[in-house]
Structure 1
Amino acid sequence: MARNLNADRPRLIFSTGSLHVYDTALCFEMAAVAGFDGIELMCDRRWTTRDAGYLFNLSEQSGLPILAVHTPYWPNLPGWPAADDPLGRIFKTIELAEQLDAETVIIHTPLTTGAAFLSVGAKRYAIPLLRSPDRPVKAWFESPEGLAAFQRQTEVRIAVENTPLFKFMGRDVNVHHWNTLEAWATVHEWLTMDTTHWATFGVDPLTGYRAAQGKLTHIHLSNYAKGKQHLLPHIGELDLAGLLQTLAGDGFRGTVSVELYPESLDFTDLDAARAHLRESVVFCREHLGQSEMIQA
């Protein structure tokens, strides 16, 4: 399915990361039945999220183009660059996106610090370390021969995503470079906005959208409430209806990706997960002015 950078409306897509506990093929099937326009592929430990031939077949069978590809959260992925090569994983993701004719690759702002993890009973705590594993990524962002130059060599839009605050000893900590509204808005020519991530800063979706100054090409859409992230779009404290209506009114032509936690979809109950996806599609279509596209 060919890359389409001249769409005439926002495309509503589903992130496979929302159901990373499910088989990749099931994610595609559920997204198609729910009525999404396409897929955002989260590269993860499943080889099926990184096998171009297999993914092309899934796309053809489901009728859903893979419009966006997200770099992996996990540093150790079988068959991909090693944990100490974060740039290699970014390049590998872009290569996969080019093979799949995706429009966008999502990358995070680089970490300012590393982290060790301590488990105490059922709880897991992040302990910041001085040495960041993302130092090569930061250098790539800053170099004239880095991110900006690489962008000129590919049709895929490399879109830099804002990241959330983390809790450390009861305090909110910003552990990423270029992760304030002002810095993020100027870091690159293409941006991804995550609504729930900005909510951890107390930033509402419309403020984040306006800060992007026309550079926004991709949105991770989910709600937020009482510290809980990646909730269903129609349940929470954020005015996502207002954001979607503004996108439609402004003629936004990028992709809006529903990106949730599996728990928000009640993943242990397949019928409930299907129903939640359907509700999310109906909510988004209605506020994007696409009610005629809601499947019966």
Structure 2
Amino acid sequence: MTAPIGLSTASVYPESTEHAFAYAAELGYDAVEVMVGIDATSQQIPAVRRLVEQSGVPVCAVHAPCLLFTQRVWGLEPWGKLERSAEMAAEVGADVVVVHPPFRWQKEYAAGFVEGIAALEASTGLAFAVENMYPWRAAARRSMQMYLPGIDPSGEDYANMTLDLSHAAVARQDALAMSERMGSRLRHVHLTDGSGSPRDEHLVPGRGRMRASAVCRRLAERGFDGNVVLEINTRRCPGRSERAEELRESLEFARLHLGPSAEAAG
């Protein structure tokens, strides 16, 4: 298994991007995925480059600011956000930009999204790995499809994709089956977990129902050499030591099930 195991800066929220690099260095993560968000440091190339130099931990991916609460980060024009994300990735040595599909109300953006992603990959030499998403569920029997062209990128002509296990849980999709559909186009994995709740839980892997260990073992069998990034929710941790323990548990899970002993462990 040659895939680096990274830590998403989103995993330490409400602590900062700077804290994420510190945790990654302390716990022995191979890399960091920078979620560009409301933390000013995450938006600034020199600041991220400084964190790489200080921590000794490289950046494997940049997550574009395409969440609902980051709609105003780097302006309102969606293609401009992706171009700036590509600029940051190139400047800090990352080779992947993680991107969500457009919201339904971004009709013009959505209409040319598949072709536009391909054009960006051609012009930048970076992988724009489009992430699987989920319906917004207001109640057990009511859901709204909020993304275009859709929530499952494996049905589109993307060259590179991101598999997020928590998103698959909300969508009530089989993450292992989705990884098989993505095949060689699977470039990036957000290793996490979910229970099937309407909420995007981002549980520590192994604490939900998404067969995270089986997904990891299958990646190892396939010789997956993309990035595996732990993207978990630690907001309820009362302090630093508890957050560090959840990040450590997540890293140990990944190493166990992605490593050479994965078959025996399963």
- Kindly provide the CA deviation profile for residues 194-249 of structure 1, in whole angstroms up to 9, marking residues without a partner as x: 11111222212210100102101001111111505200012111111111111111
The alignment's TM-score, normalised by the length of structure 2, stands at 0.90
What secondary structure is seen at the aligned counterpart in 1 of 2:124? coil
User: Corresponding residue for 1:76?
Assistant: 72
In terms of fraction of residues, the more strand-rich structure is 1
Aligned residue identity for 1:215: R
What secondary structure is seen at the aligned counterpart in 2 of 1:193? strand
**Aligned in 2, Cα 1:37/1:167: closer, same or farther, shift over 3 Å?**
same
Distance in 2 between residues matched to 1:286 and 1:15, nearest whole Å? 19
User: Corresponding residue for 2:242?
Assistant: 272
Is 1:250–2:222 an aligned residue pair? yes
What secondary structure is seen at the aligned counterpart in 1 of 2:183? coil
Question: Which of 32, 36, 39 is equivalent to 1:46?
Answer: 39
User: Corresponding residue for 1:96?
Assistant: 88
User: Corresponding residue for 2:30?
Assistant: 37
Aligned residue identity for 1:236: G
Distance in 2 between residues matched to 1:243 and 1:106, nearest whole Å? 20
Shift of 1:137: 2.2
Is 1:191–2:161 an aligned residue pair? yes
Distance in 2 between residues matched to 1:142 and 1:180, nearest whole Å? 13
Is 1:158–2:128 an aligned residue pair? yes
Shift of 1:167: 1.6
Is 1:282–2:252 an aligned residue pair? yes
User: Corresponding residue for 1:57?
Assistant: 50
Distance in 1 between residues matched to 2:157 and 2:72, nearest whole Å? 27
Counterpart contact for 2:174–2:210, Cα < 8 Å: yes
Shift of 1:290: 5.6
Structure 2 unpaired stretches of 5+: 262-266
User: Corresponding residue for 1:232?
Assistant: 204
In terms of fraction of residues, the more helix-rich structure is 2
- Kindly provide the CA deviation profile for residues 68-113 of structure 1, in whole angstroms up to 9, marking residues without a partner as x: 0001121122xx22x3x1221121111111111211001111111x
Distance in 1 between residues matched to 2:20 and 2:108, nearest whole Å? 33
What secondary structure is seen at the aligned counterpart in 2 of 1:277? helix
Percent identity (aligned): 29
Counterpart contact for 2:134–2:151, Cα < 8 Å: no
The alignment's TM-score, normalised by the length of structure 1, stands at 0.81
Question: Which of 64, 67, 86 is equivalent to 2:60?
Answer: 67
Shift of 1:175: 1.1
Moved over 3 A (4+): none
What secondary structure is seen at the aligned counterpart in 2 of 1:41? strand
Map of 1:194-233 to 2, 5 A cutoff?
194-227=164-197, 228=199, 229-233=201-205
Instruction: Please give the root-mean-square deviation of Cα atoms over the aligned residues, in Å.
Output: 1.8
User: Corresponding residue for 1:179?
Assistant: 150
Distance in 1 between residues matched to 2:2 and 2:114, nearest whole Å? 33
Number of residue equivalences: 255
Counterpart contact for 1:86–1:136, Cα < 8 Å: no
Counterpart contact for 1:164–1:197, Cα < 8 Å: yes
Counterpart contact for 1:165–1:197, Cα < 8 Å: no
Shift of 1:282: 0.8
Aligned residue identity for 1:42: M
Counterpart contact for 1:13–1:257, Cα < 8 Å: yes
What secondary structure is seen at the aligned counterpart in 2 of 1:262? coil
Structure 1 unpaired stretches of 5+: 1-7, 113-131, 292-296
